[in-house]
Structure 1
Amino acid sequence: MDTPLSVLFSSAEDEKYVLDCMAYFMILMAACTFVCLLFKDASYGRYSSSKYGFLVNAKLAWFVQELPAFLLPVCLLIWASSAKSSLLANQLLIAMYMCHYTQRSLIYPFLIRGGKPTPFLPFFLAVVFCTYNGYMQIRYLSHYADYPADWVTNPCFIAALSWFVAGSALWLLGWLINLHSDHILRNLRGPGESGYKIPRGGMFEYVSAANYFGEITEWAGFAVAGQSVHSAAFAIFTAVVLSSRAFSHHKWYLAKFEDYPKTRKALIPFLV
């Protein structure tokens, strides 16, 4: 049984073409977003403003906006049957994606302590992105990503295997950095405390936006392992949005705290 969305396409080739177009469109939107963010910070978190719509509770916003990135892929995997989704390489890449969004949608929102409300517009755009990207990534990996059955075990594919292993290791490193950095941020304030503090420990000793560095690394690794325009588009879009936010955070920290570590970089350790 296939997904209801498949009725929109007369053939698998048509749907594959649409998925490719979706990936290239995401790259185009990344370029447009890059230009926009040169002039304006994304309006959520510490930059939150009612200028972009009514405010949504932080926990509720995170849960609702991230949920499509988890729920839609789960539905696609349950409803759709394909030989591709039984192959080891495809399964591992799907597992990377699902591991991140299981934590991001079902665990992370309920660990948030406080948090400023999110304006409706960035909240809505996040819902759209998570739905769009969730369909594109999982539909491609479960039906169209063409990795030979023994791709990750056959020595004949040593070059592809090396890229897959390197990308997977990079994904794991980024995921762990992201989780640890979020843990540090959650525990900056003690019971009853408010206001901002300088984050310390882990990758925060080197960069102001350790959590963003981790997530960018994570999806860069996913793209290296996946070797597709779909995973690359996701990595590019993530890098554009989070790097802009990282530099904004860095400037904000330097302006707010006189004792902020001057050797700490914004996003990439020892470089920028």
Structure 2
Amino acid sequence: MNVTEDDVCTRKCLIYPFLMRGGKPMPLLACTMAIMFCTFNGYLQSRYLSHWAVYADDWVTDPRFLIGFGLWLTGMLINIHSDHILRNLRKPGDTGYKIPRGGLFEYVTAANYFGEIIEWCGYALASWSVQGAAFAFFTFCFLSGRAKEHHQWYLQKFEEYPKFRKILIPFLF
């Protein structure tokens, strides 16, 4: 299970910032804090799974694990696809803001956050741990606030921003 934590940390902290085109540089402090947080969270999740978690030998065939893994994989694919759309909004040398189009961005402002929340909910279900559930919950709390801010910004910045788009969860919120 700690492979999922490593994947998220590697993708979000080490790969994604270098793939961004144009835009503003990421402050070193923010980057350092993100790496420290992902490392600490990865350590805590991995420590629990490797030292205290007890799973039956057939856990990988348990419906909780299978559904959780499916959710995690779906969330990861949504997240990667959404990040790809965001990265390609700007052409080389372009610095203007644009409205994301395609994928789940047709339904929500923060498709990338939605994917990340789905990832962590899947992880929580597959690991069947309080630690995983707590991280999924706090990820939702944090990212839903950021998604709401992004949504309001888009509505103010672009008159043509689709009014039917929800903030974070398709058709609901």
Normalising to structure 2: TM-score of the pair? 0.91
Return closer, same or farther for 1:127/1:218 CA change in 2, 3 Å cut-off. Answer: same
1:114 paired to 2:22:
yes
Which residue of 208, 212, 227 corresponds with 2:113? 212
> 1:225-236, aligned counterparts within 5 Å?
225-236=126-137
Deviations 1:52-86 (A, max 9, x none): xxxxxxxxxxxxxxxxxxxxxxxxxxxxxxxxxxx
1:152 paired to 2:60:
yes
State the distance in 2 between where 1:196 and 1:130 align: 28
State the distance in 2 between where 1:118 and 1:190 align: 19
> How many Å apart are 1:101 and its aligned residue?
2.6
State the distance in 1 between where 2:85 and 2:119 align: 18
Question: In the alignment, what sits opposite 1:99?
Answer: 7
Normalising to structure 1: TM-score of the pair? 0.59
Question: In the alignment, what sits opposite 2:44?
Answer: 136
> How many Å apart are 1:109 and its aligned residue?
2.5
Q: Over alpha carbons, which structure has the higher Rg? A: 1
State the distance in 2 between where 1:127 and 1:106 align: 8
> How many Å apart are 1:269 and its aligned residue?
0.5
- 260-269 or 184-193, which deviates more: 184-193
State the distance in 1 between where 2:76 and 2:97 align: 25
> How many Å apart are 1:187 and its aligned residue?
0.6
Q: CA RMSD in A?
A: 1.8
> How many Å apart are 1:124 and its aligned residue?
5.0
Number of positions where the alignment pairs a residue of Structure 1 with one of Structure 2: 173
- 124-133 or 139-148, which deviates more: 124-133
1:247 paired to 2:148:
yes
Q: Secondary structure at the match of 1:147?
A: coil
Which amino acid in structure 1 is aligned with residue 96 of structure 2? Answer: G
Return closer, same or farther for 1:95/1:131 CA change in 2, 3 Å cut-off. Answer: closer
> 1:62-81, aligned counterparts within 5 Å?
none
What residue ranges of structure 1 are gaps of 5+ in the alignment?
Answer: 1-92, 154-160
State the distance in 2 between where 1:108 and 1:125 align: 15
Q: Secondary structure at the match of 1:261?
A: coil
Question: In the alignment, what sits opposite 1:23?
Answer: none
What residue ranges of structure 2 are gaps of 5+ in the alignment?
Answer: none
1:238 paired to 2:142:
no
Q: Secondary structure at the match of 1:107?
A: helix
Q: Secondary structure at the match of 2:140?
A: helix
State the distance in 1 between where 2:34 and 2:94 align: 30
State the distance in 2 between where 1:211 and 1:110 align: 17
